[in-house]
């Protein structure tokens, strides 16, 4: 059990789901503090039937806190995480700020839970698109190794925040009515559209989102030898990222064995019956904590090639669920201190 747990960004979209996940996953604590910026101070939030008042996120707010779960922008994490660590707390950070710091473990509990033991006060939770892909690749990697991954993502607007969801709804209604609105959250109108750019331009024409998937996957698996090529696309879906994944294993796997690996893997739900038109779709996966896999097939030209479809709620497993799972791992450590 954690003596004092603090949730930073408690009134945000992901922060609210973190609070729900605390209840759903049963993370045990004696005291829960909700911290946020000045504009949210004084608000009351119900957590598991208990009404709690939001407090100001400031250095002194972390006095006596053992564990922090935080959902904030990068620049906010850069400011407050040192406050918490200096006062003896362990921080589970969902921002991108510390992910590639060599001293900070980047953790998906189904994949590299043992990495939490190596923290120096901070543990990072990966990018949402990376998380679901690596959960799905892990059983294949363990069984036969991985040489190459080609992934195309179809990412929901909720990855850009609540305002992006509102923009999709309003702009879709306006476009159908023949009165298109100008975009504000995205570089182009996302209504009834696809935008093949998420993040800023990086090396060789790839975007920052695409390179996150490369670098984070290498770090989580501890294997830089895997060739990874990503294309990230924003789609007019409210919640739930989808990915078309092609990978080549080091050794061939039979289709029956691949199905068995997915079926047995923790955190994966296999829905794969093309004849009956059963496969994962983002609308069906919303609000659920698992990574869903379907459309599994062997490459007809490459004996080690495997293609599959992967869907997950980006606000759950891609963010809040994963962070609370890490928190539970740490709670076990804290109980043994």
Residues with a known catalytic role: 128, 241
Contact 22, 46 (CB under 8 A): no
Nearest alpha carbon to residue 274 among 295, 299, 293, 297: 295
Rg, the chain, Cα only: 20
Q: 288-300: buried (b, 16+ CB within 10 Å) or exposed (e) per residue?
A: bbbbbbbebebee
State the Cα–Cα distance between residues 246 and 255, nearest whole angstrom: 14
Whether the CA torsion 21, 23, 26, 28 is positive or negative: it is: positive
Task: Identify any residues that bridge with 44 across adjacent strands, giving them in sequence order.
Answer: 53
Q: Is 185 helix (H, G, I), strand (E, B) or coil?
A: coil
Measured on CA atoms in the order 67, 83, 34, 135, is the torsion positive or negative? negative
> Residue 319 and residue 236: Cα distance in Å, rounded?
20
SS3 229: strand
Nearest to 125 by CA among 113, 141, 140, 108: 108
Q: In what order do the strands lie in the sheet with 67-70?
A: 55-56, 29-36, 2-8, 67-70, 90-93, 122-124
Asked if residues 321 and 291 have their Cβ atoms less than 8 Å apart, the reply is no
The position carrying tokens 């991954």 is 149
3 state DSSP class of 320: helix
């Amino acid at each position: 059990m954690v003596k004092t747990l603090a949730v930073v960004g408690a009134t945000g979209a992901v922060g609210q789901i973190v609070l729900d996940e605390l209840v759903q996953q049963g993370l045990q604590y004696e005291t829960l503090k909700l911290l946020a910026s000045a504009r949210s101070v004084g608000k009351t939030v119900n957590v598991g039937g208990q009404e709690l008042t939001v407090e100001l996120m400031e250095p002194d707010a972390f006095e006596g806190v053992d564990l922090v779960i935080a959902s904030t922008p990068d620049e906010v994490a850069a400011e407050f995480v040192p406050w918490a660590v200096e006062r003896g707390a362990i921080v589970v950070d969902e921002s991108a700020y510390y992910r590639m710091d060599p001293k900070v473990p980047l953790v998906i509990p189904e994949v590299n839970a043992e990495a939490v033991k190596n923290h120096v006060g901070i543990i990072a939770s990966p990018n949402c698109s990376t998380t679901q892909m690596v959960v799905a690749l892990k059983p294949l990697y363990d069984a036969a190794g991985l040489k190459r991954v080609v992934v195309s993502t179809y990412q929901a607007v909720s990855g850009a925040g609540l305002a992006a969801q509102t923009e999709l709804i309003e702009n879709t209604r306006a476009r159908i009515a023949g009165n298109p609105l100008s975009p504000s959250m995205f570089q182009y109108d996302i209504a009834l559209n696809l935008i093949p750019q998420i993040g800023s331009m990086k090396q060789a024409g790839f975007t920052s989102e695409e390179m996150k998937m490369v670098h984070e996957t290498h770090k989580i698996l501890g294997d830089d030898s895997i060739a990874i090529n990503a294309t990230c696309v924003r789609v007019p879906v409210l919640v739930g990222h989808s990915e078309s994944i092609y990978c080549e294993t080091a050794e061939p796997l039979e289709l029956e064995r691949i199905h068995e690996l997915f079926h047995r893997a923790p955190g994966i739900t296999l829905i794969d019956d093309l004849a009956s038109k059963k496969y994962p779709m983002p609308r069906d996966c919303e609000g659920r904590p698992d990574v869903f896999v379907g459309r599994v097939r062997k490459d007809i030209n490459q004996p080690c090639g495997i293609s599959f479809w992967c869907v997950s709620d980006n606000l759950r497993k891609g963010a809040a669920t994963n962070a609370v799972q890490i928190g539970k791992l740490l709670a076990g450590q804290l109980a043994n201190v």
